[in-house]
Each structure stands twice: as C-alpha cells, then as structure tokens.
Amino acid sequence: MRRKIIAGNWKLNNIVRDSVILAQGLKPEVASVTDVEIVVCPVYTALESVGKAIESSNIKLGAQDMYWEDQGAFTGEVSGMLLKDVGCRYCIIGHSERRQYFGETNESVNKKVKAALKWGLRPIMCVGETLQEREAGTTFDVVRDHVEGGIAGLSEKEILDVVIAYEPVWAIGTGKNATPQQAQEVHAFIRGLLKKQYAAAAEEIIIQYGGSVKPDNAAELLSQEDIDGALVGGASLKVDSFTKIVKAASAKV
Ligand code: PGA
C-alpha cells in the first residue's frame, strides 16, 4: 500500500504572518489524519516560522525550489543544505512555472533532484505537458522526457525517495482538471516507465496528480489506482479546502 501524500504548493503568496496563521489553522483540522502524509510549501522567507508553527504536528515542511550547489558565489540561490537547516523534508523541483518562466530544464531538474536526495530532502519532481503538446498528441513523449531526464542516474534506493507529480500544465490554476481517467492513463504510463528501470521499486513510488485539485474533485482523482496523492496550488491557501482534500485522501476519516 502506498501512503498518499497531499502537498500544498503555496507559490508566491502570503507574508510570514499569514503563512503562520494558515499553518496554525490547518494543524488542529488535520491532526486526526494519520494515514496521509501532509506537506506545506510556503515561500522561502516563511519557511522557518511555518516550520516552528507545525513543530510536533503531522504536517511536514517543504520548499518550492532549490539550487544544486551547496554554497558559494551563487547570488540569490538557496541550496538543499539551507533548506535542511530550517527543517524542510520536501522540495518541489521542476514545477512547470519554473520551466516556463525561469529556464528550468530536464538537466537542471536532474541536478536538483540529486542534490535534494543528498541532503535527505524528498524531491517532488513535477512533469507534464502543455495544452499545445496534448493537442499535438505528444503528451506521452513529453512526460517520458521529463521523467527520464529528471531521474537519470538514480539508484533503486534513491528513486524510492522521489515523489513524481504529474501536472498537466493546461490544468494548473485554470479550474480545468484532467478527468480521473485522463490522469490515471498518464499515471499508469509513468509507473510503466519506472518499472522498466526499477522493477522492484516502481510499485512503491508515489505519483501525485496536480492541476486544479479541489474538494469536489479530489476523492474521485485520488481513488484512481495509480494516483497516490495531490500537489495542490490554489485550494491549499485556505484551511477549509486543503483540509477537505487531505481528508479525501484518508481512508479513515
Ligand atoms: P492549482 O496548482 O491547484 O492551483 O492548479 C497546482 C500546482 O501548480 O502545483
């Protein structure tokens, strides 16, 4: 049984105070959920404060990006070493917004994934096609390219710590989620790719879906065989909607 992971990607939102209020609001609401891994990913400047707010709770801390070098003359960057230092356990890597606006490539994603693993951070590696690519019929080629490029060179032991998030770009922030069948089809394809390289580990690897996950579509998406969690943007910014999604992932609540 794969343990589902629900991660909130807060993106570029919330000053420190509001991030802490959100985290504190969430804590009692999800405290009873023991069968789901819960992660929140605030902006860098709020990581330490949110980390303190969720101390000794069942919520884990994640960042939204990182650099692959540990330290040195890399003005403006934040490394895995620094994220570990403030209590991060996860780091989103290769989000489509970073690929689109900040020049992220499969090569940089691969370096970041390796650096995250080196620091004991679980990378949440994002993959997914644009609308143009879907309409051109190249979804599977693009996803294969993102997956294989991102995990190149990882050992069977390392791959078990990687979370893959399938996020069709056309579904992010648009209110247009993939249908559960569309999502499941790509998730099964990703697991098939993993099986070729990591026969034993593939069944254990967590593959999240992301893209307009909301309380009213979460349960159906999460009930698909190969959907092991969600990476949630917009709906993670409110205690109520994020809590409902977390509970939709739980078999017990
Ligand atoms: P969304 O974002 O839930 O707002 O569509 C998901 C993401 O970008 O991770």
pLDDT in tens, 67-100: 999 999 999 999 999 999 999 999 999 999 999 9
What pLDDT score was predicted for residue 253? Answer: 58
Instruction: Give me 80's structure tokens.
Output: 């895995």
SS3 58: coil
Give backbone dihedrals phi and psi of 213, rounded to 5 degrees, phi first: -75, 130
Q: Which of 14, 29, 7, 5 is nearest to 244 (CA)?
A: 29
Cβ atoms of 167 and 211 within 8 Å: the answer is yes
Expressed in angstroms and rounded, the spacing between residue 72 Cα and the centre of ligand 1 is 32
CB 129 within 8 Å of CB 167: no
Ligand 1 atom with the shortest distance to the CA of 213: 3
Q: What is the pLDDT of residue 20?
A: 98
Angstrom distance (rounded) from CA 166 to CA 119: 24
**Distance (Å) from CA 222 to ligand 1 centroid:** 15
Give the mutation target among 64, 212, 221 for probing the ligand 1 site: most ligand atoms within 8 A of CB: 212
CB 222 within 8 A of CB 4: yes
CB distance 206 to 229 below 8 Å? yes
Alpha carbon nearest to ligand 1 atom 3, residue = 233
The residue type at 219: A
Which residues sit opposite 63 in a β-bridge? 91
Q: How far is the CA of 24 from the centre of ligand 1 (A)?
A: 22
Ligand 1 centre and the CA of 31: distance in Å?
24
85 alpha carbon, distance to own chain's centre: 20
The first and second tokens of residue 242, run together, are 């994020």
The reply to whether 104 belongs to the active site is: no
Which of 9, 13, 65, 98 has most ligand 1 atoms within 8 Å of CB, for mutation? 9
Helix or strand or coil: residue 236? Answer: helix
pLDDT tens-digit series, residues 105-141 = 999 999 999 999 999 999 999 999 999 999 999 999 9
Give me the catalytic one of 37, 146, 167, 187.
Answer: 167
pLDDT in tens, 150-189: 999 999 999 999 999 999 999 998 888 889 999 999 999 9
Cα 124 from Cα 7, distance rounded (Å): 9
Residues 6+ positions from 30 with CB-CB distance below 8 Å: 38, 58, 59, 243, 246, 247
pTM of the model: 0.97
Of 95, 97, 133, 146, catalytic: 95
**Ligand 1 atom 9 nearest Cα:** 233
Determine whether 187 is an active site residue.
Answer: no
Instruction: Look up residue 179 and give its DSSP letter.
Output: P
Residue ranges around ligand 1 (CB below 6 Å): 9, 167, 172-173, 210-213, 231-235
Those residues with Cβ within 8 angstroms of residue 216's Cβ, 6 or more apart along the chain or in another chain: none
H helical segments located in the chain:
16-30, 47-53, 80-85, 96-101, 106-118, 131-135, 139-151, 156-159, 180-197, 215-222, 239-249
pLDDT, tens only, 49-66? 999 999 999 999 999 999
